[in-house]
Chains A and B, each alone.
Chain A
Amino acid sequence: QKEVEQDPGPLSVPEGAIVSLNCTYSNSAFQYFMWYRQYSRKGPELLMYTYSSGNKEDGRFTAQVDKSSKYISLFIRDSQPSDSATYLCAMIHTGGFKTIFGAGTRLFVKA
C-alpha cells in the first residue's frame, strides 16, 4: 500500500465550479499536511499547509484534514481558468523534513 494515494485525474470543470481534491494516507505519524500547485513547465510551489486536524482557509482555497479517517481535501471555490494546474498533496512526519508526495491531480478549468 502506498503511503499517500491521490487520483491523478484529469479533472475537468467549468469556470465558477467548486472543486474538491482529495488524498488518503496510511501513516498516522503524519502531522503536517500540504498542498502544492504545479503549473506546466514549473516546479511545485506551496499553496497551503495545515497542522494536525481541522480546516484552514485562504481566499478561495480551503484545506481540510480528517486524521481519524486519514483523509485530506482541498476545496477551490469559484474556480478560474488560472487555477488549471496539477495539485499535489504532501505530508511530513513530526520533527522530520522528508516529505511524502501524492501523484498529483491534473485540474482543467474551462472558461
Chain B
Amino acid sequence: ETGVTQTPRHLVMGMTNKKSLKCEQHLGHNAMYWYKQSAKKPLELMFVYNFKEQTENNSVPSRFSPECPNSSHLFLHLHTLQPEDSALYLCASSSTSGDYNEQFFGPGTRLTVL
C-alpha cells in the first residue's frame, strides 16, 4: 500500500449504529487530519493530530470521536449520527517540518446516515 488509505470506502448506517472509519498513511508523516466534505461547501477541518497529540478540534459534535494510536493510523468513531452528517469524510497527512507542508489525501469514505 502506498500513500493514504481509507476504509471502508462506503458506509451506510442508521442513527443508532456505532461504526468506525480507519485511515492509514504510508508516507512517514507526523500530522494527520480528518475533513468533512459536503456538496458545494468548503472542506471542513474536523480534527488535527501532530505526533499522536490532538492539536485541533473544530467544535465537532461529540458523536464524532477521533483516535490516533500512532503517527500512521487515525480512526473516527461514529455514534448516534444525524442525517445531516452524511458526507464524504477525507483523511489527510503531512509533515510539519517546514513553512509549507503539502497535505496528501486518501480517497475518502462516503457516509450515508439513514
User: B13-21, B62-70, B72-80, B99-107: which one contacts chain A?
Assistant: B99-107
Q: Does B96 contact A (CB under 8 A)?
A: yes
Can you list, as one digit per residue, whether each of A43-69 has a CB less than 8 Å from chain B (1) or not (0)?
111100101000000000000000000
Asked if A32 and B99 make an inter-chain contact with CB atoms under 8 angstroms apart, the answer reads: yes
Q: Quick one: which of B56-114 are within 8 Å of A by CB?
A: 56, 90, 92, 94, 96, 99-108
A91 to B38 Cα, complex, angstroms: 19
CB closest chain-A residue, reference B43: A101
Asked if B100 and A98 make an inter-chain contact with CB atoms under 8 angstroms apart, the answer reads: no
Asked if B40 and A8 make an inter-chain contact with CB atoms under 8 angstroms apart, the answer reads: yes
Q: B residues within 8 A CB of A46?
A: 102-103
Q: A residues within 8 A CB of B96?
A: 97
Asked if B42 and A44 make an inter-chain contact with CB atoms under 8 angstroms apart, the answer reads: no
CB closest chain-B residue, reference A10: B40
Knowing A8-B40, A102-B42, the reply to whether A43 touches B4 (Cβ < 8 A) is yes
A34 to chain B, nearest CB (A): 8
Q: B residues within 8 A CB of A101?
A: 42-43
A8 to B41 Cα, complex, angstroms: 8
- The 9 A-B residue pairs with the shortest CB-CB distance in the complex, in nearest-first order: A43-B105, A101-B43, A8-B40, A32-B100, A103-B42, A101-B42, A44-B105, A97-B96, A43-B107
A: residues with CB less than 8 A from B are 2, 4, 6, 8, 31-32, 34, 41-46, 49, 51, 88, 92, 94-95, 97-104
